[in-house]
Structure 1
Amino acid sequence: MTAEGPMLIPELLHLFKINLAFLNHSNLTYYVVIMREEDRQSNAEKSFFTHMHALFCLPVTHSVTLFIFLNLTQKNLQDIHRFNSDQSSVRITVFDDRTKDLENKLIQIINEYDPEIFYESSRINSLVAAGSNIEPLHFSVVDDDQIVRSFLKEFIERQDWNYPSDVETFREGQSFFESKRLEKAGKHVVLLESILPRITGLEIVKQIRKNYSDDTVSIMMFSGRKREDDALSAFKFGVNDFMEKPIRIHELALRIMNMTKRMRELVSSFN
């Protein structure tokens, strides 16, 4: 496998996660089916799923294909299990929307068949140090609510953002700026409460935008007040996204993914 090959896999899995985030946000029931071939001579599986109309199909490696199905019936599931038992060259694993830790289980299955697909974190760090185009992703949470800070920090650390990442939290804007956090090389995502002590959220945004553009720093602002003027002011001063509290966790993950994708697209368009 070439050095460039594995880098494509996290991007494809990123699309898979976006689909899952949409389904979870829409409260749609789905099944994730992972098909693993042990013998490339068998073609029986190529037509097996066509009548079920997969919402998403991803050939992850030469031996692993991933599907997302909506509205599988009990008969469909019985047929899948029967096919699985009849085909010695094919192994199928089915998860549903209640499966815990689905992404890690998926990665484990892929690694069983092609362990070089994912770079180890130490290798990613060495590529960054060597000047590769894999830039680290730095998250900063600025919120005066300790519970929110802890919640967001834990949430961010649990996710796989497809890039090496870290997160720091701050109670208010002054400590955030004094940390010189934004001077760290890489891309930045700032998650910011609108109402803060000493320096308001909008003032923090204005100060960030004096020195950093959208292709380096993305800003998401939160507000517990349901006022349209708050969102309009936030966008006027340079935020990239705005969410009302309480925070909807699946939607937050999708929005952050979209922000980081836009940052990298902005850079690519100028290179």
Structure 2
Amino acid sequence: MRDADGAVIYVGKAVDLRSRARTYFQPSSWEDSKVRAIVSEVADLEFIVTDSELEALILEANLIKRHRPRYNVRLKDDKRYPYVKITWADPFPRVLITRRMEQDGSRYFGPYTSSSAVHQTLDLLRKSFPYLTCNREITGQDERPCLYYDIKLCLGPCIGAVTREEYRAMIKGLARFLEGRGEEVIADLEARMKAAADALEFERAAVLRDQLQAVQRVVERQKIVSSAGVDQDVIAFAREDDDACVQVFFIRGGKLLGRE
């Protein structure tokens, strides 16, 4: 949503855009002070169609980071909105959903406008990045792993099935993915898989292969506007009689990240 000066004042996502936009202009919604403020200022509405809710979630976060719309920035002070938290200060970082940011050495992604979408996204990404969810102390010397290890939703650091360095490398990949840098994750996994195979570490190479295939399936769902995977600013121009419209599309890594 833009104001009369063209400045972005709010970024959101919706499965049904028509229904979502209509709610802003229904008197029953004006009891919310933020909705009243947005309606009083909005002069233009733009939309970008994505191929999945995961792509929409990442695009939403990138647009908020790029434009810092005033009504999204205010979400940082509102505990109702969720963040994805990676406890990076821990030897084996965990991935959590939280509604409060703290100065604790963790990395935070968000805020996001839909709690259910964040939960669904992490459920999907966990198949590609099987991160820890338990609270046990990780020594690498436990006799048995939990069920999640058996169903490939955890790498089993509790029994020493993965090293600290390997686990943190996986979490770095998850962080890059949340930043919309899926191609970098794939390139890194391919290099690590090849290195493991060259070193005759075939079990480790097989784990990396499975992770690579899972990530590729997720990335393939995202909208590609350039098969070359390049960074571009594309200018589009349309004219009819005395009216003209110009837009700039920002493409990074072959994906559309925004437009003005």
TM-score by length of 2: 0.27
- Which has the higher relative contact order, 1 or 2, with Cα contacts under 8 A spaced 6 or more apart? 1
TM-score by length of 1: 0.26
